[in-house]
Structure 1
Amino acid sequence: MEEAQELKIIKDNIEEIKNELADVLKVAEEIMKFYAISKEEIKDIMEEKDEKAGGFDKRIILDEASEI
């Protein structure tokens, strides 16, 4: 997704980050609306993933992965 890629590039400018996040959230909301997915459903999935794989509270982000 273009907006998510742009977030990587502008990591030091908080105003640009806010603008790109607004774009990312708008796209996500439109996809959710199209498929009739609620925010609560997404929140539940996020919590399940956090329990299984951990969250981002330590700000450690996997930049790239490959199959072995």
Structure 2
Amino acid sequence: MRSQDIHHIIDVFTRQEAIPHYSRQVPLDEIEQRNGFNLNLPRYIDAGECEGRAGSGRSF
């Protein structure tokens, strides 16, 4: 991952931004009840047709 990608992730997290296909806050009850504490990202963020952003189909 590029340095600018890491900085973008940190900025989005710090501001607690909800960005379609990139980030959102997930309530604990959704993690617990609907997903059995599974933290697999595709359960929470639909990557859709996004390209060129950190986390859009890249391996970490």
For normalisation by structure 2, the TM-score amounts to 0.33
Pick the structure with greater CA Rg.
1
Identify which of structures 1 and 2 has the higher relative contact order when contacts are C-alpha pairs closer than 8 Å and 6+ apart: 2
For normalisation by structure 1, the TM-score amounts to 0.30
Higher helix share: 1
